[in-house]
Amino acid sequence: MRRFSQRSALVTLSEINITPLLDLAFVLLIIFVITTPLLEQSINLKLPKGGTPDRPRDKRDIRTVEISLKGIFYYNRQPMSLAQMEANLAKDAQGDPNLVVDVRADEQGRWKDVAAVMDICQRHGIKMAARTEPPGKK
């Protein structure tokens, strides 16, 4: 009768199983691919049609001002009054001479709200870009 030696019981695996790690990586990738477009637009706006494609810009130089249909102002997705937004824009403009403000306003919204943001940008020497839907998009 043959006896089993202690050596065969102590054999260890020299390879790491990476299948669970790859499964986790693919699940995280899928989650990020799905959630990234949802984070892009914070409030539901119906933008007017028109405009031309953007030139590449440094994302650190861009601030977004959104104006809802009811006239609520959002500065970088934070609701605030017009005076608070002006103070934040003035402070950001002092620290960044290349600052650009993207204005997203509902097409049915009040023109006076957009004009107020344009006036703030002009007073503080800030470049402004009006956001629109591409002409062919519904």
pLDDT, one tens digit per residue, over 58-103 is 778 888 888 888 888 998 888 999 899 899 888 988 888 888 888 8
Specify whether 105 is located in the same domain as 67.
yes
Half-sphere exposure of 23 (CA within 13 A, CB side): 4
Specify whether 86 is located in the same domain as 123.
yes
Is there a domain that residue 47 lies in? no
Number of domains in the chain: 2
Where in the sequence is the domain holding 21, given as residue range(s)? 6-40
Half-sphere exposure of 121 (CA within 13 A, CB side): 21
Specify whether 63 is located in the same domain as 110.
yes
Is there a domain that residue 30 lies in? yes
Domain CATH for 106: 3.30.420.270
The average pLDDT across 32-44 equals 72
Is there a domain that residue 54 lies in? no
- Which amino acid makes up residue 84? Q
What pTM was estimated for this model as a whole?
0.56
Please state, in angstroms and as integers, the Cα–Cα distance from residue 114 to each residue in 17, 117, 124, following that order.
58, 5, 16
